[in-house]
Structure 1
């Protein structure tokens, strides 16, 4: 009788674990991914191939998950839109275009062509793109979707480089300078600071601060860029730290003015990459990476807890097959408690953690450097399950991968 009861408890436990793990498949989480250079999506339990025989990268969901944008061609200089409900495909511009970004509030996408910022309304019939502003080095939508934060590019004087200029530009500016407001002039070149352009603008939860990277010349930016903060009204500016050119490596906590980022100069990701946090308005930073390790991709689980992809530190001279691969670690930023939550095989590593609010689950990519799979687990990393197989591995640079090139998750 006792054996029967124990067996029943075990069966129920396994059933509830299985039910919990499959919740991401049933709660509307959408995943776009690249497989054999083609675009696929997974919604619920169904996978669907969207493109065939094309070289696709950089999938990006619209704010409501109704549209998907993606780059076409190895040069990534054209992009296309796909509507999920009917399979409609739209090409906003026949010319070369890059740096496409969806509005956070509407199915309107912005992009850059020949340093001109443009917008395209995906819902309008027979719509054409509209010019917004010239002289754009980089940009981001404001959280309200009504305007852009734009960075110009710096220029070289006999005395050295100027700093990039930041502007607040209305969405409907249509090249009208009266709808453009100068926000801040980044400092001119001095000591080790050089800002040819500002990139990766990201607002704090209360929208009072903006984090971004001051990017120097192409050769210098491969090794180091300056993480900066500016008050949203332009009244205060400060430099925070040095880091690689990866806009996924600095993120605000969900509802507090706490910025987490991966600090460390040098293009080799196997060395000198540390997870730090900075709480505003305080000036000090705290480091959470133990000696002998490096931290890479990360996500906030809640206001205090971070999930990070961590590997042992190594030199680039170590043969590829012997280089350490990462696992996921959970870090409590208030108590500094840390522990490993995934244990992949010796031939695989765990990258790019994503926390799903809808399903209260952890999602990540497990890869052997040749292919990758999406895995799911409870929010503590337990009861892991392979969910999507055979995803392309993006081009990597000194052990740094840009996983957003091959996967995009729509969770909200």
Structure 2
């Protein structure tokens, strides 16, 4: 991905699209810095095992401006005033940021590239509850307030992270795991007997656009949108989600806002998709149609790699066939091998793994990205 004070390296890169095991932010930061060194994309670690406030919803809710939350047995709830749970979420994110900065400083490394993953405005509204017991998504005013509050708070966080870490290129990953359910109207209400009415695509697009523009104006160089499909009955396929993302994110040719210090490089936008085969079991050719369209338009694709299989022998290497598989499909659909540099390979969520397994998965992801980049440099498969 891109830019900040200069273009990102023209290479296939690796990153993490999910949480990390353990509860020690210093240990997690050390794993990120050592495992995803340049030219790859380290991520501010998420540690749900640390407890309330470090889970995906609580961590993102802690970014809200002028809205407060607390934790109830059924989940995070919007409340009039911040209490202990809200303060814990804010403190945990600050601790994570300080830990990563300190570890990088101790290692003498500059964090030129850094990524921050947050729950997107629609999915956050789906996972926050009103005092009356329903999802805030079900109330137009509440979900509007959540979207606006998250947009303002995330922009402030981008400015803080850039100032503290010195990252010249900051990528914001907007995770919308409930996107298809929200647009399809299949998300269950609190009772489970009904579903929340589908949210109009115009409203979803407006929320995504506002958030993307706000973080770019705050200094982010890249925005990755990760829309999700999770259940049966979701009538929104990947192609429709990609189209909505395309309408919501800045195009590769869009100029950025002017800066008093000089011209600002144009922002980059990327779409996160699951890596699936073109044919055979688990295949989805529509995902590859999206990849072709996005890369030819100058945009980036983040491939979320599947969970690695269990180690069956001493020579087991996760993702050892991934690079060749992607390159073969790339050739079959007629894409220029040079465009492989627009790919980022992302290790999946590791929160349920041991630290040893998580680091091995991250190492395998980096190895796959580097192998794929060698194929790119060779002009494709021989």
TM-score past 0.5 threshold: no
Higher strand share: 1
Q: Which has the larger radius of gyration?
A: 1
TM-score of the superposition, structure 1-length normalised? 0.30
TM-score of the superposition, structure 2-length normalised? 0.31
Higher helix share: 2
